[in-house]
Structure 1
Amino acid sequence: MLIDLTHKFTAQMPVYPGDNPSELQQVNFVEQGGIAHFHIATGMHVGTHIDAPMHMLEGGKKISDYPLEHFFGRGCLIDARGKDKIDVDLLDGIELQSDDIVLILTGHDKKFRAPDYFDAFPMLTEAFAEKLVNDGVKIVALDTPSPDGEPFSIHKILLERDVLIIENGTNFDRLIDQKNFEVTALPVNFEAEASLVRLVARY
């Protein structure tokens, strides 16, 4: 079974406050010129996307610097629904393994197109981020806009140790009863600080 954990990219996408709006527009039509053709103009941090170290660290790696192997792995779901902050107590009884891809379920994705989506959402504590780093996790995926706010200390803790960050995931609740699943998080091979990503689970 394949589960799509990616928001559909449409002509009207929510964007982080202060970012430029994205565009997805059909510019050619079969009935007019024999072909259909869409134009896209977007920042990398729109919809479901993945951050590389360059996003926060001077001289940090770009998405294109990572081998394909970095984007496949054993999945581990952390149920953080109803929590204001995501702290280490949520890891009690959970055995993380090196190279895991951790999904954090908050349920905030249900507000993705609501006006207040970016206003308030659960964030990671530094202790939680340090635990992921120390256990060798390679990607952490969120169904929220970000693991933190300014000054973005959680971003830096994770990215300094090559733990990539996926933001604006969805449908994590469809994995709540799955103990064994794999995750694929394939970005476009952009020479850039981040990429749109297709995030998929399989069990």
Structure 2
Amino acid sequence: MRIIDISMEVSEDMPVYPGNPSPEIERYRQIPEDSTTESRICIGSHTGTHVDALQHVKEDGETVKQIDLENFYGDCQVLDLTGCDENVERADLEEKEIKTGIVLLKTENSLEGLEKFRKDFTYLTLDAAEYLVDQNVRTVGIDHLSLVKFDGGRKAEEAHLRANERMTVIEGLDLSKAEPGRYVFSGMPLKIAADGAPMRAVLIDREQE
């Protein structure tokens, strides 16, 4: 069995979405001066690899701790969408055979890397999000810090709302080392009544067993 870490490392110099706070990590106890080493960690709810809760885009939406845990574990597909330059559209997804309830979108973002935030990242359109819902996808993940177009106006807001209403949305995945194909996905967020939460996400390759 092979386990592939598809999470961003949380650090003080990591990229964050514009307007979000950068992480702060401070040691307040330190061996050998103290008997233990302990740190204070301050991060935004949408830091690095994280899940969106519906409350992120809807005032009375559910929080992270209310999301069904089945949405964070199970058979998944990594779809090769690296040929999509600007966005992932419905037609791009119609070319794929979607067989699992968890779908991760590997786009050109994975080729560019996650060392810095790019405003021109590849994103998911409203039609594409609705197509995934029609295919009974319960969880969608993408390899940048947002599922929808940066500063995309009402269309982006609608796509974000529709996706979060009908699916669990995971953002900030590092799919650079994940080949397209079938895996088992596991990624549990913090149990917290908030609009989002970081998670440690992995792919389990059972073909290596």
TM-score scaled to structure 2, two decimals?
Answer: 0.87
Contact 1:48–1:169 at 8 Å: present in 2 too? yes
- 2:33 partner SS: helix
Contact 2:186–2:202 at 8 Å: present in 1 too? yes
Aligned-partner Cα distance in 2 for 1:131–1:75 = 17
Aligned to 1:22: 23
Aligned to 1:175: 179
Please say which of residues 146-155 and 26-35 is displaced more in the overlay: 146-155
Contact 2:10–2:23 at 8 Å: present in 1 too? no
Aligned to 1:196: 198
Please say which of residues 56-65 and 166-175 is displaced more in the overlay: 166-175
Instruction: For 1:160, give the aligned amino acid.
Output: E
CA offsets, 1:36-79, max 9 Å, x none? 00111111111111101110012111110123222112111221
Please say which of residues 70-79 and 144-153 is displaced more in the overlay: 144-153
Instruction: For 1:136, give the aligned amino acid.
Output: N
Name structure 2 gaps, 5 residues minimum.
none
Aligned to 2:80: 79
Query: Post-superposition shift, 1:172?
Result: 4.7
Contact 1:6–1:170 at 8 Å: present in 2 too? yes
> CA separation of 1:92/1:135 partners in 2, compared to 1, >3 Å: closer, same or farther?
closer
Query: Post-superposition shift, 1:82?
Result: 3.4
CA offsets, 1:2-27, max 9 Å, x none? 11110111232222111222211222
Aligned-partner Cα distance in 1 for 2:74–2:125 = 24
Aligned-partner Cα distance in 1 for 2:186–2:179 = 14
Aligned to 2:136: 136
Aligned-partner Cα distance in 2 for 1:51–1:32 = 40
Query: Post-superposition shift, 1:173?
Result: 4.3
Contact 1:129–1:154 at 8 Å: present in 2 too? yes
> CA separation of 1:172/1:165 partners in 2, compared to 1, >3 Å: closer, same or farther?
farther
Aligned to 2:127: 127
TM-score scaled to structure 1, two decimals?
Answer: 0.89
Aligned to 1:50: 51
Aligned-partner Cα distance in 1 for 2:129–2:176 = 19
Query: Post-superposition shift, 1:127?
Result: 1.1
Is 1:159 paired with 2:159?
Answer: no
Instruction: For 2:68, give the aligned amino acid.
Output: P
Instruction: For 2:39, give the aligned amino acid.
Output: F
Aligned to 1:35: 36
Contact 2:11–2:23 at 8 Å: present in 1 too? no
Cα root mean square deviation, aligned: 1.7
Aligned-partner Cα distance in 1 for 2:104–2:202 = 11
Instruction: For 2:105, give the aligned amino acid.
Output: I
Instruction: For 1:139, give the aligned amino acid.
Output: T
Aligned-partner Cα distance in 1 for 2:186–2:77 = 12
Instruction: For 2:171, give the aligned amino acid.
Output: E
Aligned-partner Cα distance in 2 for 1:19–1:47 = 11
